[in-house]
Structure 1
Amino acid sequence: MEANPVFPITSDTSVSGLTATLPADYQEGVQAQAAPRPVAKADRIQTIDLIRGVALLGILMMNIPGFGFLASGFNTLLNNPTGADFYTFAVVGVAFEGTMRGLFSMLFGAGMVLFTQNKREQANGPTVAEYYYRRLLWLVLFGVINAYVLLWRGDILFFYGLCGMLLYPFRRIKGVWLIGLAVLCMGFNSIRSEIWYGELRENRAGYLEAKSQEKAHKKLTDKQKEAKTAWERFEKNFKPDPKKDTKELTNMRGGYGTVFMHLLPENSASEIYYTYYGSWDMLLMMFLGMALLGWGFFSNKLPTSTYVVTLLIGYGIGLPISWFYVASQVDWSQHPGQIVDNYRTIPFQVYDIRRVLLALGHASLVLLVYRSQLVPWLMRALTAVGQMAFTNYLMQSIICTLIFHGYGLGYYGKLSYYELYYVVAGVWVFQLILSPIWLQYFLFGPFEWLWRSLTYWQLQPMRRTISAT
């Protein structure tokens, strides 16, 4: 998962920004609906759908290795930093890694606010909070289906549903406090990483002491033995393991049952790990998105100069930091011992800073292109992709697993790293064409319709009529 590996919850839905829609009462002069229901197309803010569409397509660049690339291939790629594979990795890593999911997370936070603002409390029937948490519980279930039925090992719907449950009490606080919460989450994430790195440094120091003692033909202490074993186990992760690779390829190219059983422990471990340790990463961006919504950033309300400055700062600072991050990945793969010996703080601490800066830069660039009225056909297509982003996200799981898993075409591990992006381009073209056509005849994507119907426990209209807005 971009992860490893996706969306907001808006009045229209969203998974990390997937299908958020803007509330009818959010815009001036529009009154709240008498009864809770999804917002009409006319009440949506196009720029939010537009940014979501860009983020949705972009996140496939991050997810595609998880669909079809052998994990050990990254060590091979980083240990030979030349050729098409490495240059593709470098470009994607510097410009996009973490930023698309970051935008989804921001939109998820924004969508939470929009969902609650779109509804009034009713004397009879479910409260706004009940609709909100019902929506999130269904989102968690969709995440389970994505991981255990569609067999996508990088699902993030499950985690967004859980994290979203923590956002509700903060829906009305001021932007400055939301930024403070975001910084706090970044701090907790950094502390957790630093604790892990500190333990690794201790193991490295113990390993070096043990090697020195062995050279001097002296007996090792129990502590030195433990440190030596721990460090050697860590270094083993960077070395080729042909037996493990063969097993991975055989299982992932097998039938549905074989792939399911192979991924079962991985998906289970992933859900436990990210539930307990990955939440800070997601909450950081969600709180930031809530603040940016309140300031009018995503709804295209700020002056053009603000977006220009944000773009220049985001790219001007974020790209150099991101280059350092990718270069550190290469060094980490080639010389992990030297990194631990030379850096008192793990170099990857810059991850959250770079992704915030680049995500804001990307969003600003999209909004500036939108304002310039360049490539209007592409803007419309991307907006349609974002409007039915929940469907498009799950569609990416379905398409890619059928291409790479053995019960489909069985291409897992057969394509070079750069060749994976031919698949990405094909999926992009397909979704950019399909989404606008679909929305000419239907109000929602099929999964958006299902999610809304389950949330309101009532079948929602699906087909577009002449009078539909």
Structure 2
Amino acid sequence: MAINVATMFRVSIFERFLSDGNDGTSLDRVLYWILMAGIDLKALALFSLLFGVGLAIQYDHLSADSRRTTLLVRRLAFLMLIGAAHLILIWNGDILFEYAIAGFVVLPLLFCRLRILTIAGTALLAVFLLSSFLPPIASMPSRAWMAQNVAEATRIYGSGGFAEVFVFRVQELSGFLPLHLSIFPRTIALMLIGAAAWRAGLFRVGSRASRWLPLVAAIGLLAGGILAVAHVNGWLHMGWRAELSFERLGTVLLACGYGATVVWAANRADARQLLTWAAPIGRMAFTNYLMQSVIFGWLFYGYGLGLFGKLGVTAALAIGIGVYFLQIVISAYWLKRYLYGPVEWLWRSAMYGTRQPLWRA
């Protein structure tokens, strides 16, 4: 949410490739630095890991069902459908569509043993980390194209009606394609590693694998944090290809550090109390992700309040945090009465092909 509202709803995503983030107030610059070093791409990497965990959980949960493959395919197909609608009609920063495609790639490998999952995920991740030395899958748009796009986005997103915003959003997708293609191998690799982590028992309290969580957390946070800070500050003077590889490594390490820290804390009764407030919004993550896009679209685009290009990082982030905490309250209220979030319920019903229970008894 923080990255989306500060770098994609507030301004054009391509502005970050043209600016060093030194615009605005001192607080804007500090917050932007924190976002770039601590969250940017790390949240996406963590999401990829969690998506793999989720696929493995569903696979195991359906082990006794003869329709397991069909149900999982339905689950991913519905996700792709919602992702496409989100991408075209609401916000072209959508990630669901890409994750559904990656899920179809990962699905056949879920039938393999833990060793195969681990080797495949690790090997693909290594290829991704070293791919900066290979020709790119797709070239990024030129600086001239990005500068023109930023100017048009500021005008259209900031003051255009729904139809004008819709047309520009679709036209802009060609510029997003290289961004998605560049991280697609990482997405698949981390999904496989996430599935392997689940299979290895990393989330089971007292398992042999769970004993490694503190070490994984420490290495991830320390090594990943150092590499992330060094990259953002421009301290890696070793050629852009090597710098990109180390930046990618730092992103993955820091994401793993975050994830291991949360899982370790959730497995301890004393620390779990610090995390319980996040449970409702997490159980309704699909609904809340889509609702953030609807809300931010109305706040920032011309068919709503038209704040696009008019706010600094601090103001946009404050709005985003306000929306986030409002969703925490609404999610907790909703789940006292219903078993699932509304989109989660629809997803579940589409997967099983029949209306699922929604109300709590």
Q: Could you list the per-position Cα deviations for residues 85-108 of structure 1 after superposition, in whole angstroms to 9, with x for gaps in the alignment?
A: 221121122222222222211121
Change beyond 3 A, Cα 1:72–1:79: farther
Change beyond 3 A, Cα 1:401–1:293: same
The counterpart of 2:3, out of the listed 62, 81, 85, is 62
Change beyond 3 A, Cα 1:92–1:453: same
1:419 aligns with 2:315: yes
1:84 aligns with 2:27: yes
Q: Which whole-Å CA distance do the structure 2 matches of 1:97 and 1:446 have between them?
A: 29
The counterpart of 1:247, out of the listed 138, 152, 157, is 152
Equivalence for 1:307: 213
1:283 aligns with 2:188: yes
Does the CA-based 8 Å contact 1:77-1:86 persist in structure 2?
Answer: no
The counterpart of 2:300, out of the listed 404, 416, 422, is 404
Aligned length: 355
Q: Which whole-Å CA distance do the structure 2 matches of 1:244 and 1:363 have between them?
A: 36
Change beyond 3 A, Cα 1:352–1:72: closer
Moved more, 274-283 or 134-143: 274-283
Unaligned 5+ runs, structure 1: 1-59, 201-229, 332-338
How many Å apart are 1:111 and its aligned residue? Answer: 1.6
Equivalence for 1:142: 82
How many Å apart are 1:431 and its aligned residue? Answer: 1.5
The counterpart of 2:73, out of the listed 115, 127, 133, is 133
Change beyond 3 A, Cα 1:79–1:462: closer
Q: Which has the higher helix share?
A: 2
Change beyond 3 A, Cα 1:313–1:244: closer
How many Å apart are 1:422 and its aligned residue? Answer: 0.3
How many Å apart are 1:140 and its aligned residue? Answer: 0.6
Q: Which whole-Å CA distance do the structure 2 matches of 1:173 and 1:258 have between them?
A: 48
1:109 aligns with 2:52: yes
Aligned residue identity for 1:130 = T
Equivalence for 1:256: 162
1:224-235 alignment, distance < 5 Å: 234=142
Identity %: 26
Aligned residue identity for 1:384 = P
Does the CA-based 8 Å contact 1:452-1:460 persist in structure 2?
Answer: yes
Q: Which whole-Å CA distance do the structure 1 matches of 2:171 and 2:336 have between them?
A: 42
Larger Rg: 1
1:35-434 alignment, distance < 5 Å: 60-64=1-5, 65-71=7-13, 73-74=15-16, 75-78=18-21, 83-120=26-63, 127-150=67-90, 152-196=91-135, 234=142, 236=144, 241=147, 245-253=150-158, 254-267=160-173, 270=176, 272-273=177-178, 276-302=181-207, 306-328=212-234, 343=239, 345-370=241-266, 371-374=268-271, 376=273, 379-434=275-330
Q: Which whole-Å CA distance do the structure 1 matches of 2:175 and 2:79 have between them?
A: 19
Change beyond 3 A, Cα 1:297–1:352: farther
Normalising by structure 1, what TM-score?
0.69
Q: Could you list the per-position Cα deviations for residues 353-401 of structure 1 after superposition, in whole angstroms to 9, with x for gaps in the alignment?
A: 212211221123223433152472x522211111111111111111111
Q: Which whole-Å CA distance do the structure 1 matches of 2:309 and 2:218 have between them?
A: 39
Does the CA-based 8 Å contact 2:87-2:93 persist in structure 1?
Answer: yes
Aligned residue identity for 1:181 = A
Q: Which whole-Å CA distance do the structure 1 matches of 2:101 and 2:179 have between them?
A: 11
Q: Which whole-Å CA distance do the structure 1 matches of 2:283 and 2:256 have between them?
A: 20
RMSD: 2.9
Q: Could you list the per-position Cα deviations for residues 238-276 of structure 1 after superposition, in whole angstroms to 9, with x for gaps in the alignment?
A: 9xx5x6544222210211001001110223553x54665
Aligned residue identity for 1:256 = F
Change beyond 3 A, Cα 1:413–1:300: farther
